Amino acid sequence: MEGNLNALTTVFTEFYYFVTIVMMFLIHVGFCMYEVGASRRKNHMHTLLKNVMLIPLVTITFFLFGWWIYWAFPNAFPGMGGIDFEGAAAYTPWSESMATNLSDHITGVFWAAFLLFSWTAASIVSGSVIERIRSSALWVHAVLIGSVFWIIDAAWGWHYAGWMVQKLGYHDAYASGVIHAIAGGYALGVIMVLGPRLGKFAADGTPRDIPPHNPWMLAIGLFLIYTGFWGFYAACNVPIIAPEVIGGELTGATWTATNIYLAPTTLSAITFNFLMSLSGGLMAAYIVSKGDVFWTLSGGLAGVIAASAGNDLYHPIQAMFVGAVNVVIVYKLHYWIEKRFKLDDAVGAVAVHGYSGIVGLIIAGFLLWGQPSSPFEGYATINPIGQIIGAAIMFGLLGFLPGFLISKLQASLGVLRIPAEVELQGLDFHNNEIYESAIAQVCVAEKELLKKL
């Protein structure tokens, strides 16, 4: 009986993650629709392919080394213990666990859940640089943030044994920092070097709006991102686990769902808080943006992102206010920074993901102050200083800095930005010419046939 119960739990967990992965695929569909909707007609195909091709590139690199980093790097920081080669041995690409294996139902789906987070991190960067970055340059960034930098931050701050959790009391249950702050910071580093789209700023430095060619695609893309985000929330949990399996301080025999730190939570709690923070973000964004559709929908996302750090523990009304307050801050910050530093973040990704991630982490430090960050003994409790340092590590050290330095290197090699002539003509110019020519030829041929009927 006990054996069957364990088997049932394992298969349930396997199926649970499988479903979240399918739901999370919608995030990428949403990002693609959003980016194409935001781009101009002359750049559609390149914009789409830029985002599509990061899927295979991040996937194979995450198989080769990304997943190994997660298990090897929780304490790979000076003075914290170093790389855990032994603990990560099962996650090398030549391990039997990383393959078709009837005695391991979990590694594949757990790997894939994290992989989908990797796509998201890369895709956030992709949106901010549309219409002027070379695809080859973006794909290098995608591999680096998707299979290296974000997964290092996940090992440090989103792993039950990560040093940031142990020493700083870092708490980021649904990834305000570990996905969004890092990706926003990385995007900021890239666009600082990349420069704005031609025509974005007037001669006197005044920013011009470059409207999306299709607001409907943009809106549907954001709705799909919301939907996939829901799956992401579920994927951040361990669905069911017995206290003795956790091996921490929990007593009694009550099985529970946990967050990524193996601290108890419920799907019910995060459902409350997801929807309330979405609502707070939408309502505040509508007011602050004066009913702008793009910002209202993005504000809903920003609301969830900010509350995500503590959405396993907040009261729903707290989650709503975190979402609302955050949106007012990041909206104003976006336009101030755009004007002050002449930065062109084509989809507002730095604000919606990066600044929201920082704000969310810091607010969580205050609202959850003193609460346990982990079920394991000896870990620091959640506190504002730990969260602020955590935000600096996510946004600055692992996000902005590598994005900036690698872009500098690419720029010095002349492989970062497309030529100005191509930017004005449009990346899809030749494809569009072929398309128009094909249509013209078919029309002529059909009209000839019509004459003969």
Partner 1 sequence: MSTNGMTSWAVDLADVGAVYPFQGWEVVMTVLCVVFWLYWHVRQMRDETRELEEAVKTATNENMAKGIDRY
Part of the chain binding partner 1 (CB under 8 A), chosen from 3-11, 12-20, 361-369, 398-406: 361-369
Helix (H, G, I), strand (E, B) or coil at 80: coil
Beta bridge partners of 257: 265
Q: How far is the CB of 366 from partner 1 (least distance, A)?
A: 8
Residue nearer to partner 1 on the CB measure, 228 or 316 = 316
The alpha carbon torsion through 109, 249, 75, 314 (nearest 10 deg) reads 70
Residue nearer to partner 1 on the CB measure, 108 or 162 = 162
Contacting residues for 264 by C-beta, under 8 A, at least 6 apart: 250, 256, 257, 258, 375
Q: How far is the CB of 236 from partner 1 (least distance, A)?
A: 17
Q: How far is the CB of 325 from partner 1 (least distance, A)?
A: 11
Q: How far is the CB of 277 from partner 1 (least distance, A)?
A: 13
In order of 103, 160, 188, 294, the CA distances from 163 in angstroms are 30, 9, 26, 38
Instruction: Tell me how far apart the alpha carbons of residues 107 and 88 are, in angstroms, rounded to a whole number.
Output: 12
Contacting residues for 242 by C-beta, under 8 A, at least 6 apart: 253, 255
Q: Residue 425 is encoded by which pair of tokens?
A: 């003509």
> Under the criterion CB under 8 A, does residue 251 sit at the interface with partner 1?
yes
Instruction: Tell me how far apart the alpha carbons of residues 6 and 255 are, in angstroms, rounded to a whole number.
Output: 12
Q: How far is the CB of 175 from partner 1 (least distance, A)?
A: 20
Residue nearer to partner 1 on the CB measure, 20 or 318 = 318
Q: Which 362-421 residues touch partner 1, going by CB under 8 A?
A: 367-372, 374-375, 377, 381
> Under the criterion CB under 8 A, does residue 227 sit at the interface with partner 1?
no
Contacting residues for 227 by C-beta, under 8 A, at least 6 apart: 23, 26, 30
Instruction: Tell me how far apart the alpha carbons of residues 423 and 407 are, in angstroms, rounded to a whole number.
Output: 19
Q: How far is the CB of 357 from partner 1 (least distance, A)?
A: 20
> Under the criterion CB under 8 A, does residue 321 sit at the interface with partner 1?
yes
Structural contact between residues 117 and 48, judged by C-beta atoms closer than 8 angstroms: no
Build a one-symbol-per-residue string for 285-314: x at contacts with partner 1 by CB under 8 A, - elsewhere.
-xx--xx---------------------xx
Residue nearer to partner 1 on the CB measure, 331 or 404 = 331
Residue nearer to partner 1 on the CB measure, 103 or 251 = 251
Instruction: Tell me how far apart the alpha carbons of residues 103 and 130 are, in angstroms, rounded to a whole number.
Output: 44
Positions in the binding site for partner 1 (CB under 8 A)? 243, 248-254, 256, 263-264, 283, 286-287, 290-291, 313-315, 317-318, 320-321, 324, 367-372, 374-375, 377, 381
